[in-house]
Chains A and B, each alone.
Chain A
Amino acid sequence: MKLYIHFLSIHLRGAMTYRLSFCLSCLGYLLTTMNVFFGVVFLLDRFQSIGGYTLPQLALCFSAVLSASGLAECFGRGFDVFDRLLSDARFDRIMVRPRSLVFQVLCQEIKPAVFFRFVNGVILLVWAMGAGAVAWTPWKWVTLALMVLCGALVFFGMYLINAAVCFFTLEHVEVLNIFTDGAREYSKYPFGVYGKGVLYILTFLVPLALVQHWPLQYLLDRGPAWYGALPLAALAFLAPCALLWRLGVGHYCSTGS
């Protein structure tokens, strides 16, 4: 952990050297997020509600996934750009060091600017709470925290899959971005809004609905209390991700000199 904090401070100082570029990246994230949310605001302004959800409730739903993906992308960035580690054979160096592989890849790349997305999510969350989206109880706070933390881990699992696939294809497979970037963008509405098919895919195949749609039902008093514990079930997704990663590492034979 101490080592990780050391790496964190290195990356942070690195980013701060180019302060203008750091600020512009933050601005870019802010504007992109605002545009997505504006889309929700405009439609809700016209239609008042969708599937029984009001604007603050949708903001709550979006902010939870936004924060989760911000956390995952900031700290799990090493897996997101894993093809570069493979192509310049930095992974060979990682394998000879006496530390865990996952830990070292995590230390390779940390993108502080993406942390701003997490901040964005928190700001949106505060607004949603101020607008009275939910009647809060202590257990609902726990559920919300689980949504963000387990959500981040599910996103991280997807990065792990992306990275593991790189062992076989040697380059990043763009198709997998559908689930990372796409999920973040379309989590502006609870997945149930898109229909049963999408909801089931995102419940049983990639369990994003378990950290978004289902616990939200509990938060809004539209479903039983055990829905609030479903984010924990989403963690089961990490098992196949880890398995694929191991398979990939086993398959790995160095790419170059």
Chain B
Amino acid sequence: MTRAAGPALVLALIVLLAGCGSSTSSSGGATPTSSSGNASHFLACEVLTDSTLYDKSFNEATWNGLQQAQKDFGIKIKYTTAQSPSDYQPNLVAAHAHGCDLIFAISFTYGDLVAKEAQSNPHQHYAIVDYSYSPPNQYPNVRQLVYATDQAAFQAGYLSAGMTKTGKIGTFGGQKQPPVDLFMDGYVEGANYYNHVHGTHVQVLGWDPKTQTGLFTGDFTNEAKGQTTTQTLMGQGADIILPVAGSVGLGTVAAVRAAGKGAVIWVDSDGCQTDPGDCKFFLTTIEKHMAPGAYDTVEKTLHGHFQGGLYTGTLKNGGVGIAPYHDWASKVPARLQSEVAALKPAIISGKIKISQWK
């Protein structure tokens, strides 16, 4: 062996190992309880925009719905992670090529890509979360699941404004995009409404619904950034924090744990269920019921009743809502609890117009 072969071998080995980039994982073959005909051949696929499926929040919620469907109908399910935006389109194409019967694209970011794919594969069923086309029925093979999270966030903002000890509450997002901004809009508007009702001056740091500017960490994965961002927010006075940033919010939990004070408003899936060890830090969760949405879509598609078009989850149809207070139930005054509960019918009936409280 010549001298030159040494480094060549080392480099070749490195390149070989590095070649294993993004990949897909599947889990199938669960015991079906009520297998109907072709259910065991039905494949539902979840396509992500990042690499963390178990984020205790956004990505995990849809996956929970698919897992429930797997349990109940005996279908097969699969997910695909992405390492960078350049993976998005190839992953969508691959999901179609692998024979997925239903493809869930989990993010606003997939809007244009799914539209393009849906046009070229008219017989493939797609579902996209957080994005709607106008008009919604221009792509009959795409079901668009969007959620009016500002309605539930309004309740959470009102609650936080009633619970703060410093007179300041805070919020930040992962990336600035409409579904993230919507949470923050509702949160600030709810706090403003509290100020109006009670004559207080609670401030929300990190978002201004009028100018649509505020605090963002830059992505949905950098938890260390979430932690330092939360520390800064708390140092500037906010004691209740709403992170709208997927797993970055776990950095907020870590910061609140270290500070030994304050509370977190979690998003998407009830924090006390996805992250029970940290339940005492979650004042409540602004729930976006993506799991039932995913389950329902699978069920309909499986039975041949796939419906394209738009579904909007609201307080009225139970698509959004706030979670129980769990560990905080005894700390939230009864009067505040009933005020927050009373907001729901008022929002549904239109008595309170949330966008008016910008």
Partners in one complex: no
